[in-house]
């Protein structure tokens, strides 16, 4: 199950939970497993988004609390870049793909640059695999039955639904109230390599299009580090904090939308898993994609994360301290997030006196 979910796009942890639930009790078991794994984080993120929508961010204490969260986000993304680069781009070929993808993402704006970087990563990984004689840098595919029976017509139908939903915005204009959900759906379809990779995809479709303010986006991302459960529930915060439809409805729509593609992909791929795990070319392309998405994260570390948070030497120092606490001292992320947020709020309250 883990081998399959690491091979496919989407959040591997959530997909493994879905597979376990389906193996135990069919579709209802999958739904129960997803709710159990996702609900705590989603409820907290919707509550945080509602607070941002209801109370605003104009007060000095709130602004400095948000600034503290943005500084933590710099450290968190830097930590993710290091860990993912060691795991997914540890040799010369994949490090080159990483740098090339970061260059493309920094040079070509918006989603076009990100998709181009992923496509180039897949092509480069395929070429690298051919040069190595079909070998891949990742682990060998697992063998053995999954004991989850999905008929091939059902799998094809699920994949067809995915393609239709992805292509629909090219034909029909997305209603204003579904723009965040649409962004979440497309981001959930393209994520490889870990939950942090969803950041550039969501940022391109929400911040750069003016749906969500950059400060709100980065504050929510910082809060997401303190939450239990999958990082994908950050979409619930964005849906709640967006002006339309906003609130619990907007958060719920975005939450379902970001997890729906990985669900369709997982159960759509199950009938073809035996062929997929033996397809060396696909695994080589995935190696390249994984290196490329680390490059995307490098680009995001610069803009918008660092550019929005670091305005003075003291900001850089504070971000370095947060990185030290997370990477070296292994302080739990929620402790660092809350400490920086509360420190910013306290400084703002003192200045406001």
Rounded to an integer, what distance in angstroms lies between the CA atom of residue 55 and that of residue 67?
Answer: 17
For residues 50-69, give the mean pLDDT.
84
Torsional sign, CA 39, 74, 199, 4:
negative
Tell whether the model's pLDDT for residue 149 goes beyond 80: yes
Q: Average pLDDT in the 81-107 region? A: 94
Contacts of residue 119, Cβ cutoff 8 Å, sequence gap at least 6: none
Mean pLDDT of 143-151: 73
When pLDDT is averaged across residues 192-215 and rounded to a whole number, the result is 86
Q: How far is CA 327 from CA 87, 218, 251, 321, 330, in A?
A: 15, 20, 31, 10, 6
The pLDDT confidence band at residue 51, using thresholds 50, 70 and 90, is confident
What is the rounded distance in angstroms from the CA atom of residue 66 to the CA atom of residue 235?
A: 18
Mean pLDDT of the chain: 89
Q: What pLDDT band is residue 58 in, cutting at 50, 70 and 90?
A: confident
Over 70: is that where the pLDDT of 142 sits? no
Average pLDDT over residues 183-206: 86
The radius of gyration of the chain's CA atoms, rounded to the nearest angstrom, is 20
* Minimum mean pLDDT range among 92-106, 191-205, 281-295, 335-349: 191-205
Q: Confirm if 110 and 204 have CB atoms less than 8 A apart.
A: yes
SS3 212: coil
Higher pLDDT, residue 144 or 242: 242
327-351: average pLDDT: 93
Query: Residues 246, 240: contact at Cβ < 8 Å?
Result: yes
Give the pLDDT confidence score for residue 155 in this predicted structure.
95
pLDDT digits (tens, 9 = 90+) for 222-263: 889 888 889 999 999 999 999 999 999 999 999 999 999 999
Q: Taking each helix axis from N to C terminus, what angle separates 110-131 and 179-190, rounded to the nearest 10 degrees?
A: 10
Domain ranges, ordered by start, for the chain: 2-141+150-352
Tell me what percent of the residues of the chain surpass a pLDDT of 90: 65
Query: What's the mean pLDDT in 216-227?
Result: 89
∠ Cα 171 172 178 (to 5°)? 135
Nearest to 180 by CA among 154, 203, 146: 203
Average pLDDT over residues 14-18: 94
Handedness of CA 304, 249, 228, 49 (dihedral sign): positive
Q: In this predicted structure, what is the pLDDT of residue 143?
A: 52
Q: Is the confidence at residue 116, as pLDDT, over 70?
A: yes
φ and ψ of 135, to 5 deg: -75, 150
Query: Is the predicted pLDDT of residue 37 greater than 60, yes or no?
Result: yes
Considering only the C-alpha atoms of the chain, give the largest distance between any 2 of them, rounded to a whole number of Å. 68
What pLDDT is recorded for position 139?
A: 47
* Helix pair angle (60-88, 313-323), 10° resolution: 50
């Amino acid at each position: 199950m883990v081998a399959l979910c690491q091979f496919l796009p989407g959040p591997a942890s959530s997909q493994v939970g879905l597979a376990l639930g389906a193996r135990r009790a069919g579709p209802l078991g999958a739904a129960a497993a997803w709710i159990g794994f996702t609900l705590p984080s989603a409820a907290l993120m919707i509550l945080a988004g509602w607070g941002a929508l209801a109370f605003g961010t104009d007060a000095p204490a709130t602004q400095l609390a948000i600034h503290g969260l943005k500084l933590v986000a710099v450290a968190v993304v830097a930590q993710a870049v290091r860990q993912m680069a060691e795991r997914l781009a540890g040799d010369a070929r994949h490090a080159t793909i990483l740098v090339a993808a970061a260059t493309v993402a920094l040079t070509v704006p918006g989603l076009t640059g990100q998709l181009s970087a992923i496509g180039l990563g897949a092509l480069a990984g395929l070429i690298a695999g051919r040069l190595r004689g079909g070998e891949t840098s990742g682990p060998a595919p697992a063998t053995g039955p999954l004991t989850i029976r999905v008929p091939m017509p059902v799998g094809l139908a699920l994949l067809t639904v995915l393609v239709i939903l992805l292509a629909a915005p090219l034909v029909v204009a997305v209603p204003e109230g579904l723009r965040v959900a649409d962004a979440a759906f497309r981001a959930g379809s393209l994520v490889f390599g870990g939950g942090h990779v969803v950041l550039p995809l969501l940022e391109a479709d929400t911040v750069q299009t003016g749906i969500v303010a950059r400060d709100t986006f980065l504050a929510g991302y910082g809060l997401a580090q303190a939450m239990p459960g999958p990082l994908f529930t950050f979409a619930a915060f964005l849906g709640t904090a967006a002006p339309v439809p906003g609130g619990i409805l907007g958060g719920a729509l975005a939450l379902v939308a970001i997890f729906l593609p990985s669900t369709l992909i997982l159960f759509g791929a199950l009938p073809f898993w035996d062929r997929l795990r033996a397809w060396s070319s696909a695994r080589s392309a995935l190696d390249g994609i994984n290196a490329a998405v680390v490059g995307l994260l490098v680009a995001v570390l610069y803009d918008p994360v660092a550019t929005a948070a670091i305005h003075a030497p003291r900001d850089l120092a504070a971000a370095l301290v947060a990185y030290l606490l997370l990477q070296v001292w292994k302080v739990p992320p929620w402790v660092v997030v809350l400490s920086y947020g509360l420190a910013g709020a306290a400084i703002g309250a003192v200045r406001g006196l």
